[in-house]
Structure 1
Amino acid sequence: MSEAANILDAARDRGIAQGLPYAGAVTPAEAHALLSTLPNARLVDVRTHAEWAFVGIVPGAELIEWKRYPGMAPNPDFLTQLKAAVDPESVVLFMCRSGARSHDAAQLAAAHGYATALNVLEGFEGDKDGAEHRGSRNGWKAAGLPWVQG
């Protein structure tokens, strides 16, 4: 079995264990491996424009706000923008700051035909550390995965 198949199986098992209404959940390292090995894998970063600009982005990610900055109102065009950017047959990895907004985005996508919608656990910045700072304890950045300053 290939590495990608093993990762997708583990993601599915996590999803079942957690009762997720979508295909499953992956760690940042697993997400990176899927993006590196599956031609149909797509990363959708659902953070805000401000987060992309001031915190950083993953090169090649689709940038579609789940909530709009500054008021954090839901993006009424999210699904339309997702459908325009990402094929529903793709393996779609949703990522936000910590994994909460991306959970909601994966749930909506799965309800609208995205069969392999996955949440990236820990998100881009991960959990807060003892000093209440993000970006060093876990998440995409802390794992040393590729990213650039916005």
Structure 2
Amino acid sequence: MEPRPAAGPHTGSYAGDVTPQLALQWVQAGEAVLVDVRTDAEREWVGFVPGAVAVAWKQWPGMAMNPDFDAQVRQAAGGKKIVLLCRSGVRSIAAAKRATELGLEAYNILEGFEGDPDAHAHRGQHGGWRHHALPWRQN
């Protein structure tokens, strides 16, 4: 598996998009750090990836920007490429773009943690980290 170049209006604005499976391979091989950009509430209530570094892009309530994102994501990278995870793969694109502006090699994880909504607007059945049975936990 290879990363896909960033597509559409995001072309060239971050390193590319990777499947959840490729992101896990890179992390397990020590090539990348998984950065979870979801809110603290999402990780607490929905679930989290063990070993992922929590660096919220926006914070609940109100979805205000995390003023410490730049410093936290630089520290999380520790000189490695980063793979960014959110709920559906939207906020992680914005976070990947910002991380790239900071000089990091940043990839968006396609499908996010929960995947796309189904016909009933429920997530978890169409793609996503959990749907692919990759490592995750719930409190």
TM-score, structure 2 as length reference: 0.92
Letter in 2 for 1:112: L
Corresponding residue for residue 113 of structure 2: 124
108, 128, 144: which is aligned to 2:133? 144
5 Å matches for 1:1-150? 7=1, 10-11=2-3, 14-15=4-5, 17-18=7-8, 19-37=11-29, 39-87=30-78, 89-114=79-104, 116-150=105-139
Runs of 4+ more than 4 Å apart: none
Q: Which amino acid aligns with 1:22?
A: Y
Matches of 1:108 and 1:59 in 2, distance apart? 24
Aligned residues of 2:35 and 2:76 also touching (Cα < 8 A): no
Q: Specify the alignment match of 1:3 in structure 2.
A: none
In terms of fraction of residues, the more helix-rich structure is 1
Counterpart code for 2:89? G
* Residue equivalent to 1:4: none
Q: In the aligned structure 2, how far is the partner of 1:50 from the partner of 1:125?
A: 14
Contact 2:33 2:76 in 1 (8 A): no
State the shift of 1:30 in Å: 1.2
Task: Tell me the CA shift for residue 17 of structure 1.
Answer: 4.8
Q: When the two structures are superposed, what TM-score results if normalisation uses the length of structure 1?
A: 0.86
RMSD over aligned Cα atoms: 1.3
Equivalent position amino acid for 2:70 in 1: L
What's the offset of the Cα at 1:131? 1.5
Aligned positions, number = 137
Structure 2 segments unaligned to the other structure (5+ residues): none
Q: Distance in 2 between matches of 1:16 and 1:27?
A: 13
Identity of aligned residues (%): 47
Cα deviation digits, residues 81-117 of structure 1 (max 9, x gap): 1122222x31200010001100011100111110x21
